[in-house]
Structure 1
Amino acid sequence: MIFSKLLPAKIFPILLVNFIGVLGYSIVIPILIFIVIDFGGNGFVYGLLGAMYPFFQFIGAPILGRLSDRIGRKKVLVISQVGTFFAWLLFLLAFALPKTGLWSQDTELTGQYIMTLPLLIIFLARVFDGFTGGNVSVANAYLSDISTDEDRNANFGKMGASTSLGFVLGPALAGILASTSLGEVLPLMLAASISLVAIFVITIKLKESNPCVVDTAELKLNSFRRFFQVEHKDCYTEGESGMGDGKKESWSTIMTVPGIPLLFGVYFLTFLAFSLFYAGLPIYANTLLEWSPTELGLFLTYSSFIMIIVQGPVLSRLSKVLSDKILIVLGSLLLAISFYLLSIENITVIYLGNTFLSLGNGLMWPSFLALLSKKGDKQRQGAIQGYGSSMGSIASMFGLVAGGLLFESMTTLVFIIGAGVFLLIAVLMSIQFVNGRPKRVVTTAAS
């Protein structure tokens, strides 16, 4: 492929895996709100459905992250992608079922909705996908494994660019395919096919990055690690911390790593703000703006296209002259401005806000992931990324449900809350940056 000539060979496979995964996921974003409404749901149900994935990812991501430290990143990525493929099959099954009403509700808090059988199956699909959805944290751990201090920022920027490229093509394809006679079914079929392709790409193209995994035939037949034909190997030198002693990296242990409590807090706040955005935007587009799936898809495609540029050449150059913390602060300020602009019901201003959002996200998130990947040793990266993903999952649970509920009462003012969250992130990182700078030592000449 032409992309493999433009990217280092060692990171191209994981970027390809990430791109394929995001492409499959992003295809559904512009059409999900319409699917929910067609099957009897409303904004509250949409927010609740969105929260199912992060809730079960909160449970599954740390397990998969720690497991990747023990049996290898590649095998866990396969497990995760198989779960995603099965979830898409469940999603497609919902369209073959009758719209049988199971229960209904009409309250001031939840609004009016009918829980139908297809909706329930979609909920189950999101539950299953969430529990096995540790692929993002494991992919970040994989990239951390193969990165050096010199290319870490650039590599995470390229990872962000591959994510954005998936978001460019996914919503655009959704808008086009949903306008055919098959409607929302065709994008879902494509998502399932893409997920199946990802399984083969991981199996064939991806090399194991965790040096603590070796083949073995000596373990007991009923051993879990024997099933995967791997053994955990001590691979650290004396005096270093690691998983070589077989100790489990618990939450309390990871929180003792310097800088981790603050970074996990930023992880939580970032996902909280973006969850308000992702919960509110589709409802905003469907109700107040009266957009079609194609128009919403184009809006998201425009955003992702800008992020590709920012996370690629722009971030690669800026990371050479600015530190991760400065880029995080700058990106957070741009995101705060963007969320404020999104609250104004004017198409021109909304697209301007989308531009600032893309610039801010393109600078802030890859820089944050690069900073997080520098914490702890290689044998802890799966656990760190897994617990970090859990922080994002907790925030997404609250943000997606709250976003759906708040938009019903506050409409676009919900984006102002997101702006305040990003301002808080900028303040926290600024304080940490100032406190972390080396103090100048003033000496006086002897008289």
Structure 2
Amino acid sequence: MPEKSTRNISIYPILTVNFIGTLGLSLVLPFLVFLVERFGGNALIYGIIASMYPAFQLIGGPLLGKWSDIYGRKKILLLSQAGTLLSWIIFMIALFVPVIVLRDVSSSLLGEFTVTIPLILLFIARAFDGLTGGNVSVANAYVADITEEKDRSKNFGKMSVAMNLGFIAGPALAGLLSVTVYGEKLPVLAAIIISLAGLLLIAFFVPESRKCADNPESSSSEKSKISGNEYEKCVTSGQKSRPGFKDAFAIEHIPYMLLIYFLVFIAFNMFYAAFPVYAIDILDWDVAEMGFFFSALSLMLVIVEGPVLSNVSMKFSDSQLAIIGSIILGTNFVLLAFGDVLLTYAAAILFAVGNGFMWPSIQSILSKLAGKEHQGVVQGVSSGFTSIASIAGLVFGGFIYSQIGAGVFLIAAVLIYAAFFMSFRLLSFEEAN
């Protein structure tokens, strides 16, 4: 349960931060593949650049989560957002740098591509954004700090809604901006402005949520005020009591929860790697039809994770919602294997309902198990697990699809069904707490 001094902190500023972060990211990703090709890359190079963010987030996420437990959520959110802003500035520089060829590569294994200076800058931009990309894990810890246990599933659902709204608005805004004479420069400029807005929002409207009056590591404290909210600024002494990564794995049930995280995210990313190719090869969709599908899917997720989850969470526990959601989500992947347009849209409905019930509930259970003292480090470690799963899912999803086609969705279904059976154990976790 949050402390009395944090109960009055509004969740809406951090929801806005979440929305802004997703909006900035989704603004540029739709035409990233075209930039890569223009700068000399091929499909392999695009895949590597796309994986730079989760790969470096694997390093930065757990570390930033740990730091947020020590130094406070606000400072680390500011650091992470500043890193995102700098990464987009580097991205913008790549658009103005001449395409100077450093090396031509022609290989039967790697294909043909050219190493150029702007291509290297894209690598650096995506890697740096990933390294400082712990804002999701820290934002989740922030929500856990200010939320009572009975409202956690609902509030984590709101976090997912904010992200999905960003994914709806970003590509649409990118489409409008990129048709101007400025091409990709205008969407990238928009990403820079949006990231700056996020930085200012955190600085002036997001109060510190990390209270450490009860933290044994604190030797003294002094009162400070930020945006009219009084909080305790801890002056730490002694490193032994600071939470570390081993502390996360030592918490009862956390390793089990991280395994469920891992299975779910591998399945998700196998879907995201295979579905665009599947839609072109099997469903014969064009870019517009694919864009409509993902927009419709995101809109349904917003509805489910918003008003629907708010009502359902009052009738079912987090563990029950995780069980119900996972069986629905697994069935969605089974329907995709048939290669029928009508079944694909039916699968999208199941995806929205299954994911909308399951994912916020799993996040809620994880935050309850972490307790007050280890929210940041646990959320950071979970972010690391999702990064590993994202990389593995993207790589193997594309490879498996090239071997067995739509059968890849059946493998994803098996992974989700495994998470379904594992979720029954979550009932005992909630009873113990």
Same structural fold, with TM-score higher than 0.5 when normalized by the shorter chain: yes
Shifted more, 98-107 versus 318-327: the winner is: 98-107
User: Which whole-Å CA distance do the structure 1 matches of 2:410 and 2:235 have between them?
Assistant: 48
CA 1:352–1:27: 2 relative to 1, 3 Å: farther
**Structure 2 spans left out of the alignment, 5+ residues:** 1-7, 214-220, 225-231
* 1:334 paired residue among 306, 328, 332: 328
Q: Is the 8 A contact 1:167 1:300 kept in 2?
A: no
Shifted more, 259-268 versus 99-108: the winner is: 99-108
Q: Is the 8 A contact 1:171 1:298 kept in 2?
A: no
Does 1:298 pair with 2:295? no
2:185 match: 185
Alignment of 1:201-350 (within 5 A): 201-212=201-212, 214-215=221-222, 231-232=234-235, 247-284=241-278, 294-350=288-344
Read off the aligned partner of 1:198 and give its amino acid letter.
G
- How far the C-alpha of 1:351 sits from its partner, in A, is 2.8
- How far the C-alpha of 1:415 sits from its partner, in A, is 2.9
CA 1:57–1:145: 2 relative to 1, 3 Å: same
CA 1:208–1:264: 2 relative to 1, 3 Å: same
TM-score (norm 1): 0.83
TM-score (norm 2): 0.86
- How far the C-alpha of 1:14 sits from its partner, in A, is 0.8
1:161 match: 161
- How far the C-alpha of 1:373 sits from its partner, in A, is 0.7
User: Which whole-Å CA distance do the structure 1 matches of 2:210 and 2:320 have between them?
Assistant: 31
1:388 match: 382
2:346 match: 352
* 2:372 paired residue among 375, 378, 382: 378
Shifted more, 133-142 versus 260-269: the winner is: 260-269
User: Which whole-Å CA distance do the structure 2 matches of 1:343 and 1:103 have between them?
Assistant: 40
Q: Which SS does the other structure have where 2:374 is aligned?
A: helix
- How far the C-alpha of 1:276 sits from its partner, in A, is 1.9
Read off the aligned partner of 1:383 and give its amino acid letter.
V
2:50 match: 50
User: Which whole-Å CA distance do the structure 2 matches of 1:199 and 1:285 have between them?
Assistant: 38
Q: Which SS does the other structure have where 1:150 is aligned?
A: helix
- How far the C-alpha of 1:283 sits from its partner, in A, is 4.5
User: Which whole-Å CA distance do the structure 2 matches of 1:434 and 1:9 have between them?
Assistant: 30
CA RMSD between the two structures: 2.8
2:28 match: 28
User: Which whole-Å CA distance do the structure 1 matches of 2:140 and 2:412 have between them?
Assistant: 25
CA 1:258–1:424: 2 relative to 1, 3 Å: same
Q: Which SS does the other structure have where 1:144 is aligned?
A: helix
CA 1:356–1:104: 2 relative to 1, 3 Å: farther
Q: Percent of pairs identical after alignment?
A: 41
Read off the aligned partner of 1:97 and give its amino acid letter.
V
Read off the aligned partner of 2:197 and give its amino acid letter.
V
Does 1:363 pair with 2:357? yes
Does 1:401 pair with 2:395? yes
CA 1:180–1:420: 2 relative to 1, 3 Å: farther
User: Which whole-Å CA distance do the structure 2 matches of 1:271 and 1:26 have between them?
Assistant: 19
- How far the C-alpha of 1:291 sits from its partner, in A, is 5.7
User: Which whole-Å CA distance do the structure 2 matches of 1:119 and 1:341 have between them?
Assistant: 39
2:199 match: 199
User: Which whole-Å CA distance do the structure 2 matches of 1:230 and 1:25 have between them?
Assistant: 32
Read off the aligned partner of 1:426 and give its amino acid letter.
F
User: Which whole-Å CA distance do the structure 1 matches of 2:97 and 2:279 have between them?
Assistant: 28
